[in-house]
Amino acid sequence: MKFVKYYVFAVVLLGLCTSASGQKLPVVVITDCYHPYQDPGDNLDLIMGYALPDVDLLGIVLDITDSFRKDTADHPTLWKDPRGPREAGVIPILQLNYIFNKNIPFAVGPMTMMKSEQDDMRYSPAFEQEGVALLLKTLRESPVPVEILSFGSARVLSVAFNREPELLKKKISRIHLSGGTASRNYVLGQDKGANMIPGGEWNVALDVYAFTRLLKSGLPLALYPCAGKDGGFVKDVNSSYYTLHDMSFLKEMHPMLQQYIDFAFGARLSHDFLRSMDTGASYTEGKKPQFDKFHVWESAIWLNATGRKIVKSEKGKYRLIRTGKVDAPDALIENGLRPCVLTETREDGRFQFEYTTKKSATSIYFRPDMEENEAAMNAVIPELFKSFKP
């Protein structure tokens, strides 16, 4: 009976996600993608916005923190990353525009932390104003509300909200926010490093005022915590984290996407960063992937934002669906959003929530079986990347 209930729910939801006119889903991505990478997952998942056939990628805002542009990072509360210097991910965006023959607009947002929850950061340099300006312009010009996918701090969104709150309320369909710690009663777990930073999680600590401002904004939020009580690298029912255990699927991806990934994962710096997309298929030709396994937080956001569901056949095979047509023996794997209410938001960025059966502007990611979720993601996400054809 449980599987039947999930099936009916998904059919209704997927029907709502599919426009009768067949129009694509308007999306803006806000990402802390760098080159050379900081989190290589940012470079990998950016492909989704270009390659998913039902997504209309309207713009990309690079959410960059100045501390991590330096040889050794000097952020006041986060890791003093010695792997710099690095810059905003302009090269990855140009490469994907080139590969997919598109001209997706992009810009860089403010690079320093907000000074208060109400800060509109008009004092930031003109170059750093462009990210906020691009978001506001895109919302203003869109005839329909837009899905926002946020990977990184909430700075650009909170600054935009402080400048034009009514525009964001009118033109944002939902913000899919990657960040935060889901920990009932603020229980501290085994990750001492996470316990010491604001909010217990990287994206919150990047800009605590930005995160708390967004949680209190009243905007439609889908929360995908990056961490549970035991930190960001331990699975939790409400966190989106899982591990890809085999990266060999890279050799079956489109040659140009192999070149893009090899350029990013190899942290390459060369003058021919576009032409090198045309030359070969690195992993098919025998290059060993730079990572044996891969830490992932982004997949759940892309699947939920685009209405994709995971089903499991009677023989145990997982696959993605975009319609409600599911064979009777198949079961839908719960990997979605549950309505909730935030019962407390602390100054350090930690929050408490309760599930609700009532209508709510806020929801939180939930997966009842973490191990099956990881097994399913390891089956369907590589197949999804292999299907992409520029």
Do residues 164 and 188 lie in contact, with contact meaning Cβ atoms separated by under 8 Å?
Answer: no
DSSP 289-305: PS-SSEEESSHHHHHHH
pLDDT band at 324 (very low <50, low <70, confident <90, very high): low
| Confidence at residue 17, expressed as pLDDT on a 0 to 100 scale | 42
% of the chain residues with pLDDT over 90: 87
The answer, yes or no, to whether residue 307 has pLDDT greater than 60, is yes
Whether the per-residue pLDDT at 195 is higher than 90: the answer is: no
The per-residue pLDDT for range 326-350, each reduced to its tens digit, is 666 789 999 999 999 999 999 999 9
Residue 366: what are its φ and ψ, rounded to 5°? -150, 135
- pLDDT of 209 > 80? The answer is yes
Tens of pLDDT, residue by residue over 128-160, are: 999 999 999 999 999 999 999 999 999 999 999
**Pairing relationship of beta strands 181-182 and 227-228 according to DSSP bridges:** parallel
Per-residue pLDDT at 387: 98
pLDDT band at 183 (very low <50, low <70, confident <90, very high): confident
Measured CA to CA, the distance from residue 302 to residue 45 in angstroms comes to 9
CA distances to 27, 133, 164, 176 from 140, in Å: 14, 10, 10, 19
Identify which of 167, 142, 168 has the alpha carbon closest to the alpha carbon of residue 23.
142
Determine how many CB atoms are found less than 10 A away from the CB of residue 131.
28
116 class by beta-carbon count within 10 Å (0-12 exposed, 13-18 middle, 19+ buried): exposed
Check residue 128 and give its pLDDT.
98
Three-state DSSP string of 346-387: CCCCCEEEEECCCCCCEEEEECCCHHHHHHHHHHHHHHHHHH
Q: What is the 3-state secondary structure (H, E, C) of 128-169?
A: HHHHHHHHHHHHHHCCCCEEEEEECCCHHHHHHHHHCHHHHH
**Domains, the chain, ranges and CATH?**
22-293+340-387 (3.90.245.10)
Phi and psi dihedrals of 157, rounded to 5?
-65, -45
Provide the pLDDT confidence category of residue 99 given band limits of 50, 70 and 90: very high
Instruction: Provide the pLDDT for residue 78.
Output: 96
316 — alpha (psi -120 to 50), left (phi > 0) or beta?
A: left
Instruction: Give 14-33 pLDDT, tens digit per residue.
Output: 333 444 346 999 999 999 99
Q: How confident is the model over 214-233, as pLDDT tens digits?
A: 999 999 999 999 999 899 99
Which tokens in the block code for residue 360? 């709510």
pLDDT for residue 165 is more than 70: yes
